[in-house]
Amino acid sequence: MEHILIIEDEKDVNRLLAQTLKEEGYRTTSAFDGMEGLHMAENGAFDLIMLDLMLPYFSGDEVLRRLREKCDTPVIVISARDMVRTKIDLLTLGADDYITKPFDLGEVVARVVSNLRRCRKEESAKQLTYGNLVLDREAKTISAEETKLDLTAKEYRMMELFLEHPNKVFSKANLYETIWGGEYLGDDNVIKTHISNLRTKLKAYGYENYIETVWGLGYRLNKNP
Ligand code: CA
């Protein structure tokens, strides 16, 4: 269940937001001033934060600025302020979205859903998974149950291609032209060697049959490794 932190000092508004989001199936935690909110945000694992601007101790701007030094949890700012300048400042500070008071509860829910969805998409675009393998596109690594596989750049790229297109059969020419970037002249040794090395490395981690040979056609990910 996704967990939302509500930082809002007006108790009625906080309660109303919490109740509405709970009815939509989210778990919520409430904070009633900037200091408490920041502390909770830094020490908890939240999927999204709703943040009021006018707060005791630390203002919402300050909470957001400090929060962004440490984490990128989506933040929806809620405030009575509706000056364009403020909106731009908040987006610059790292808010993901902005709702002005008085707000419509239906709109609040729609914004929460859309921000959570966008965040999930970004997360999934950063990683590809297959069985127990996790490919991290940012770190350019592939791990099997937390153990990083020791792959060369070309082997990594080959696995990335297979994982990006789990149903595709790659001919040797496909692989050569995509990974090495030149015209394939029929010398398949380089492909065979890389496939063989990759299989050996995967096997060392207990993954025997991840890359399947499709006779006469090429290679693809094995659907039932
Ligand atoms: Ca307030």
Q: Which domains does the chain have, with CATH numbers?
A: 3-125 (3.40.50.2300), 127-221 (1.10.10.10)
**pLDDT attached to residue 81:** 59
Cβ neighbors of 167 (< 8 A, separation 6 or more) are 220
Task: Give the tens place of pLDDT for each residue, 59-99.
Answer: 888 999 998 887 788 999 988 756 556 677 777 778 998 88
Phi, psi of 196 (to 5 degrees): -65, -45
**pLDDT attached to residue 51:** 95
Average pLDDT over residues 107-113: 94
Distance 106 CA to ligand 1 centre (A): 20
Which is it for strands 218-221 and 211-214: parallel, antiparallel or unpaired?
Answer: antiparallel
**pLDDT attached to residue 225:** 66
Distance 71 CA to ligand 1 centre (A): 23
Sign of CA dihedral 61, 62, 64, 65: positive
Is the full-model pTM beyond 0.95? no
Q: How confident is the model at residue 8 (pLDDT cuts 50, 70, 90)?
A: very high
The percent of residues above 70 in pLDDT, for the chain, comes to 96
pLDDT at 185 over 90: no
Rounded Cα distance between 65 and 83, Å, is 19
Task: Give the tens place of pLDDT for each residue, 139-175.
Answer: 899 998 878 999 999 999 999 999 888 888 999 998 9
Average pLDDT over residues 115-123: 82
Whether residue 112 contacts residue 4, with contact meaning beta carbons closer than 8 Å, is answered with: yes
pLDDT at 196 over 70: yes
Query: Degrees (nearest 5) of the Cα angle 174, 175, 179?
Result: 120
Distance 182 CA to ligand 1 centre (A): 61
Distance 62 CA to ligand 1 centre (A): 14
